Amino acid sequence: MSYKKCDYKNLKELCNNVFERFGYNKEDSNIITDVLLMADLYGIESHGIQRLVLYYNGIKNGRIKVNSKMKVIKETPLSVLVDGNKEMGQLVSKNSMDIAINKAKISGFGMAVVKNSNHFGISGYYAKMAADQGFIGISMTNTQAVVLPTYSKRRMLGTNPIAISMPAKPIPFLLDMSTSVVTRGKMEVYSKNNEPIPEGWALDEEGKIITDSKKIIEITDREGLGGILPLGGHSEKFGGHKGYGLGLAVEMFTSILSGGFTSDNVRFSKGVDGVSHTFIAIDYGMFGDKNEIEKRMSDYMQKLRDSEKVQGASRIYTHGEKEIEAYNDRIKNGIPVNQNTIKEIEDICDYLKLDIARYK
């Protein structure tokens, strides 16, 4: 599968115009576009513009309600429970993390729990929002169930990502990870590229190892058995029960606290939607001088990067480093977009009567 490098500014204008055609105002279009393209800038193709078609379909089938607004249901000085009212996930999430950050500014801690929302893009975007303002940021979401509990062949859990971020120099700490061995989005990219997936990522309907990327995408798109394995793999030997437990913990923090749908009840295909998110901001100034704490984090991360490499390894990374390097490169040299994705974007532009040539 070939890629075409697209200029960031052109893609941004394209996305903004697409979302405005969908009925969003300029400010909201900008937020949605920023979250979406940040994934591409960070090199996380799976969650970037290749998912434009997902949002397009969501709006067409009413899963995402364009004119809906999130509503605060319950609030304390430290907490807020939000009903997303099927608003676009990026808007609900940006606003909810802003509330959590504001509470942390006043009280030291803020936590927003959200139900009835939609796909929010990359989890790391929201965790980093907090870090950019000098807090530890945590964000989580449940998703449609695609992950198997240890020793189960029914997918019961979402890929349930956790992101954690904290300021550090020269590169902030930004961990953004699904609690499964791999994300569904990454398998979508394998499928678009006609590549097999490695043994140990997923099981088929009969609970057997599967390597056909197209087939596993089909399996997880329809009702039935089979799915992705939790981080640590298919048994307890290498800690599969840990990935399963982390996925369950994310479910607890999102759908269980919010009263939203648990992942096994989220069915995008049926329009029975509503994922749940949680956003946390912690002011680490509660524990000491913030500059000193940040310096300790920066120094330790540098030591990790400087430690002795195994044979054949070129570098030891800390989390967030690859993303920042990809960002710098792509802002300058453009974002590689898969030809299949370009075809999807062309179809959307056709439908919306947007002249794609303008953005090329």
Binding to a second copy (CB under 8 A): which residues in 100-159? 107-109, 111, 113, 136, 149-154, 156
**Interaction with a second copy in 263-302: which residues (CB under 8 A)?**
264, 282, 284, 286-288, 292-293, 296-297, 300-301
Which residue type is seen at 112?
A: A
Number of residues lying near a second copy (CB under 8 A)? 82
Of 46, 144, 258, 341, the one binding a second copy (CB under 8 A) is 258
Nearer Cβ to a second copy, position 27 or 223? 223
Q: Which residues from 37-76 bind a second copy, rule CB under 8 A?
A: 74, 76
Residues 337-356 that bind a second copy (CB under 8 A): none
Is residue 316 involved in binding a second copy (CB under 8 A)? yes
What is the spatial distance between Cα 302 and Cα 318, in angstroms, rounded to a whole number? 8
Binding-site string for a second copy from residue 212 to residue 241, where x marks contact by CB under 8 A and - marks none: -------------x-----xxxx--xxx-x
Give the whole-angstrom CA distance, residue 289 versus residue 2.
50
Whichever of 62 and 259 has its CB closer to a second copy, that residue is 259
Distance CA 359, CA 335 (A): 13
User: Distance (Å, rounded) from C-alpha 219 to C-alpha 225?
Assistant: 8
Q: Are 14 and 359 in contact (CB under 8 A)?
A: yes
- The sign one gets for the Cα dihedral 297, 298, 302, 303 is negative
Q: Which range touches a second copy (CB under 8 A), out of 33-41, 50-58, 256-264, 324-332?
A: 256-264
- Nearer to a second copy (CB atom), residue 16 or residue 79: 79
**Minimal distance, residue 10 CB to a second copy, in Å:** 31
Query: Which residue lies nearer to a second copy by CB, 88 or 280?
Result: 280
- Name the minimum Å distance from CB 23 to a second copy: 31
Please report which helix (H) or strand (E) contains residue 26, including its range.
helix 26-41
Q: What's the CA gap between 20 and 314, in Å, rounded? A: 44
Give the footprint of a second copy on residues 172-211 (CB under 8 A): 173, 175, 177-178, 181-182, 198, 200-201, 203, 206-207
- Which residues make beta-bridge pairs with 137? 165, 281
Q: Do residues 116 and 260 make contact, with C-beta atoms less than 8 angstroms apart?
A: yes
Determine the interface stretch with a second copy among 29-37, 53-61, 77-85, 188-196 (rule: CB under 8 A). Answer: 77-85
Output the CA–CA distances (angstroms, integers) from residue 204 to 43, 48, 147, 216, 222, in the order listed: 29, 27, 12, 7, 13
* Euclidean distance between CA atoms 230 and 191, whole angstroms: 20
- Taking CB under 8 A as the criterion, the residue among 130, 216, 246, 348 binding a second copy is 246
User: Which C-beta is closer to a second copy: that of 54 or that of 256?
Assistant: 256
Q: Indicate which single residue of 58, 84, 121, 243 sits in contact with a second copy (rule: CB under 8 A).
A: 243
Find the Cα–Cα–Cα–Cα dihedral 317, 319, 324, 327, rounded to 10°.
100
Distance CA 79, CA 76 (A): 5
